[in-house]
Structure 1
């Protein structure tokens, strides 16, 4: 079980993704070049339209192509979005007033009420903590611990 990083990279053009598309919510078809992809491997791919968000996909099955050499087609499982929306938000640290400008992904089909929970989850991923509606950067969180 290996992890293959296919996020935007101009450093290794022989190890790239050609296409990543949703077959249904939570199932993706991924076509790429390079890397010896096997069932059970994890693929890290950049979300289209995002600067920083990554989609983590678990390869279910893979077919290696004869031509062109090194190309493969995989079916993978990942987060289920019926209608993907990438949003930009900002929060300020209530301890030191530093600002976090971040992107997060949310299923737009769930409506406006899904946005705060998705934003809070992304804030936690970035190392920030929130308590009673206040946000604290990693530095302030470390000081209070």
Structure 2
């Protein structure tokens, strides 16, 4: 069971994705080139419309194609989104005033109530913390500990 990185930032023509589409919420079909993908592997793919976000997909079935050589199609499972939306918010550190352009994904079908929890979760992923309503960058977390 291997992990394969297909994010845009790699730009490796021998190891690329051709298509990633949702079959149902949480189930995706991925077509790519290279990487020797097998059932049980994990694929890390960029989210369409995002500069930095990605998601991890578990390969449940894979079919290696004869033509073109090295191409494959896989059925995968991953995060459940009925309607994926990418948002960008600016967050100021309440300790030092530094600015973070926070990009996060949210299921748009959940409405505006889902925005704040999704943003807070992404803040934690990038190393920021919310202490009693105060957003703190990594440096300020250590000085206020």
With the length of structure 2 as denominator, give the TM-score of the two structures: 0.97
1:75 is aligned to 2:75: yes
Q: Residues of 2 paired with 1:85 and 1:39: CA distance?
A: 29
Structure 1 stretch displaced more, 6-15 or 46-55: 6-15
Give matches, 1:1-145, under 5 Å. 1-9=1-9, 11-145=11-145
Q: How many residues are treated as equivalent by the alignment?
A: 145
Q: Which 4+ stretches in 1 moved above 3 angstroms? A: none
Tell me: CA distance 1:93–1:84, structure 2 relative to 1, closer, same or farther (3 Å).
same
CA RMSD in angstroms comes to 1.0
Structure 1 stretch displaced more, 68-77 or 9-18: 9-18
Shift of 1:131: 1.5
Q: Residues of 2 paired with 1:144 and 1:40: CA distance?
A: 43
Q: Residues of 1 paired with 2:36 and 2:7: CA distance?
A: 16
Structure 2 stretches lacking a partner, 5+ long: none
Q: Residues of 1 paired with 2:114 and 2:143: CA distance?
A: 31
Shift of 1:9: 4.2
Q: Deviations over 1:94-143 (max 9, x none)?
A: 11100111110000000000000000000000000002211000111122
Describe the SS at the equivalent of 2:118: helix
Describe the SS at the equivalent of 2:37: coil
